[in-house]
Chain A
Amino acid sequence: MNLAPVFINIFAIGCLFVSFVKDKQKTKRAIKIAVKTFIRILPTILLIVVLVGLLLGFVPHAVISKFMGNQSGIVGIFVSALLGAILYIPSIVAFPLAASFLKAGASITAVAIFITTLTMIGFVTLPLEIKELGKKIALLRNGISLLLAILIGVIIGAIL
């Protein structure tokens, strides 16, 4: 078992205590935001729970290994990068999903690329980005991020 959940829960409770002592009203608002955020993200969390169950229960390891595993080569790189760019998932749930890909036979390179494109590139939010920042910045940022994701994945794969 990992220590991360223990650590973050102690940290959060510590923050709660300090915040409550300093300002009750603000603490109330913070908890309200926390609950609201949780409710907003809940369907996505449950969706991931179902999808991971489907993925691990139905898709044989051999298939995931073939498309995202160590032997998948260039195809694996593009499958992972595209999957990450198209899917629109908050990064909190991206990590558990990525970990289950890893467990199911995907390579470290593929998983690192998937996380990076998933978080940095958004096909879904691209129209909004263009509207706010202009076509040039938005397209440059998304395009270069795609290349960086592949670079990051390949380097991580080479080292780990």
Chain B
Amino acid sequence: MKQSQKPKPRKETIKSWLFFAASLAFTIVLLVIFPNRQTAVIKSSRQIFMEMIVILPAVMLLIGFFAVWVPNEMVIKLLGKTSGIKGIGLSLLLGALPTGPLYVAFPLAAALISKGARVSNMIIFLSAWACIKIPQEMVELQFLGARFMALRLGLTIVFVIIMGVSIEKIMESKVT
């Protein structure tokens, strides 16, 4: 597999730290001006920090295991050769594997299309990659509850399949 895109992770990281530093400085200034808000702000921040820290290390570990044990070549091979309902299911499933941010998936999907994968499957794959990630769903379950998660996932899957098929139709009709 060719690694055609390098989104400069180091630069991104520096930018994120700068954002954090700026927002922290902004918050400190605000809290100095409005000392009566200190308790509320610190309490909310500490609460969400605790909630995230009990779950994130485990999520990171799972991402690491998937990266090591599930090779990209296998992902490409399975997605490229399938079609029909099996292909849709596989696209959903593979997209849901924890494999990094969405911009990693664009070159992957492009490579798959050029290898003969269906456009509809790739749209489904990209959408699943974007908003249905297995470890992330644990986070959704914890923060938003089972009913919300189940409904959102169910609706998303149905609509994403419809979107994939529609986009493929549009692309084909423009070509012919």
Contacts and interface: CB of A to CB of B under 8 A. Distances in A.
A34 B167 contact: no
Contacts of B42: 53, 57
Interface stretch (A64-72, A74-82, A147-155): A147-155
Contacts, number: 237
Grouping DSSP codes into helix (H, G, I), strand (E, B) and loop, the B interface class, with mixed when no group exceeds half, is helix
Given A19-B69, A152-B155, 11 more contacts: A5-B142, A33-B64, A41-B60, A49-B48, A58-B34, A95-B144, A125-B102, A132-B109, A136-B171, A148-B156, A148-B163
29 contacts: A2-B141, A4-B139, A8-B58, A12-B57, A12-B62, A30-B69, A34-B63, A37-B60, A37-B64, A40-B12, A46-B20, A47-B16, A47-B19, A52-B44, A54-B27, A55-B44, A56-B44, A57-B43, A92-B59, A95-B136, A108-B148, A112-B148, A115-B152, A116-B152, A116-B156, A132-B109, A152-B155, A155-B155, A160-B147
Interface of A: 2, 4-5, 7-9, 11-13, 15-16, 19, 26-27, 29-35, 37-41, 43-58, 90-93, 95-96, 98-100, 102, 108, 111-112, 115-116, 119-120, 122, 125, 128-129, 131-133, 136-137, 140-141, 144-145, 148, 151-152, 155-156, 159-160
